[in-house]
Amino acid sequence: MSKGKDRAIVVKRVTPAKKGHHGGAWKLAYADFMTAMMAFFLLMWLLSSVTPVQLKGIAEYFNQPLKAALLGGDRSANDSSIIKGGGRDISTDAAGVTRRSDGTRSDATHNAARKEDEAIDPLKGSLERREQERLHDLQVKLMAAIEANPVLHQFKQQIRIDSTLTGLRIEIVDSQKRPMFATASDDVEPYMRDILRAIGQTLNDVPNRIVVQGHTDAVQYAGGQKGYSNWELSADRANASRRELIAGGMDEDKVLRVLGLASTQNLNKADPLDPENRRISIIVLNKKSEDALTRDDTTTTTLSDNAAGAGPLAQKLAPAPVAVPGVPAAGKQ
C-alpha cells in the first residue's frame, strides 16, 4: 500500500466559546427597587389613615434631641412633652390645654383621648360623605331637569352648577341678549322666573339650607351716589329671586341669607363691565358652612343690660364714690 493510504485521518471539531455570565446585579437592584416601592406604599397608606393630631405627634417623636438618643436621659417616652417646660398639647384640639412637664400624664389619658378621636372621626367622615352624595345627586337632578324641560334647555348656557368649599353653587348668569331682570330694576323676566321656580322645586329634595346672592357689573347706577346704587339693586334682585324660589315650591325656612354684593365678586375679573358679572348665585350650603353661619357668638361680654347702662353689671363696673372732706356722701343728709 502507498504511504497515503496508511495515513490516519484526523477530524477536528471546533466548538464555539461560551460567553461570560452577565451576573445577577440587576436582580438585586430590581429587588431593592421593589422593596423601596413597597415601603413607600406602606408609608403613604399609614399617613392617610391617621389624624392631623397624630401626625404632629409622630413628627415630634422624630425631633427627639440627638444627645438624649445617644447618651440616654429623659426621652419623649418618659414625658408627654419632648422639651421640658410644656407647651400646647397636640394630642387634643381643645384650646388652652397644656402639657405637664413632670411626666405625670398617664397613658390611660392618652389612650382615652385617642379612642375618642378614633370614634368621632369615622362618624364625621361618614356624615360628610353622605352629604357630598346628596349634593352630587342634587346636581345631577338639576342638570337632568334642565335637559328635560324645553323652556330651560334653551337657556342652559346661562345656568352654571359647580361644587365649592361651601357647598353646591348654582349660578344664573346674565347676558346681553337675555337679561334676567328689567334694566336697572328687580323685575324678574319671564324666562328667569321659570328657571328659579324649577330650581326651587328641586331644592326641597335635600335638607341643606341656602344662601341667595345678587351680583351686578361695575356700571354705576344712575344717581347712585345720592341714594339707590348697585348695592341696593343687587340686594333687591337677590330678594326677588328668593320670592320666585318659594313660589316654585321651595320651603321658605331653607333660606339662611339673602345678600347683595354689587360688583365686589366679578365673574370676569379682567372686565368689570362684562354683562356676565350680573348674576344670581344660589349656594346650597354643606353642614360645615351652615354651622359657621348659624353659630351664635355667646362668648362676648355685655357691659350693660340696657342702652342706658343702668343694669346690675354696669353698677358693678361703676367706680366707687370718693369721699371729699366737707361734702356729705350721696344718700346722706
Q: Domain map of the chain by residue range?
A: 39-105, 129-293
The tens digit of pLDDT for each residue in 254-277 reads 999 999 999 999 988 899 999 889
136 or 35: which leads in pLDDT: 35
pLDDT at 101: 45
Q: Say yes or no to pLDDT of 9 above 60.
A: yes
pLDDT at 298: 47
DSSP string, 5-62: HHSPP----PPPPPPPP--SHHHHHHHHHHHHHHHHHHHHHHHHTS-HHHHHHHHHHH
The tens digit of pLDDT for each residue in 271-318 reads 999 988 999 999 999 888 888 888 855 445 555 455 555 555 555 555
pLDDT at 262: 92
pLDDT band at 253 (very low <50, low <70, confident <90, very high): very high
List CB contacts of 208: < 8 A, sequence separation 6 or more: 131, 134, 135, 167, 254, 284, 285, 286, 287, 290
pLDDT band at 145 (very low <50, low <70, confident <90, very high): confident
pLDDT at 215: 94
pLDDT at 312: 53
pLDDT at 17: 66
Distance between first and last Cα of the chain: 174
- The stretch 17-34 carries a mean pLDDT of 78
pLDDT band at 245 (very low <50, low <70, confident <90, very high): very high
- The stretch 108-136 carries a mean pLDDT of 68
- The stretch 234-259 carries a mean pLDDT of 94
85 or 19: which leads in pLDDT: 19
pLDDT band at 138 (very low <50, low <70, confident <90, very high): confident
Name the CATH code of domain 129-293 (choices 3.30.1330.60, 1.10.10.10, 1.10.260.40, 3.20.20.140).
3.30.1330.60
pLDDT at 110: 55
**Cell (9 digits) for 7:** 495515513
The tens digit of pLDDT for each residue in 173-225 reads 987 778 899 888 899 999 899 999 988 888 888 888 999 999 999 888 765 55
pLDDT at 257: 93
pLDDT at 14: 73
pLDDT band at 114 (very low <50, low <70, confident <90, very high): low
pLDDT band at 32 (very low <50, low <70, confident <90, very high): very high
Statement: the pTM of the whole predicted model exceeds 0.85 = no
* Alpha helices, DSSP H, located in the chain: 3-6, 25-48, 52-62, 66-71, 107-148, 150-153, 190-203, 230-247, 287-294, 312-317
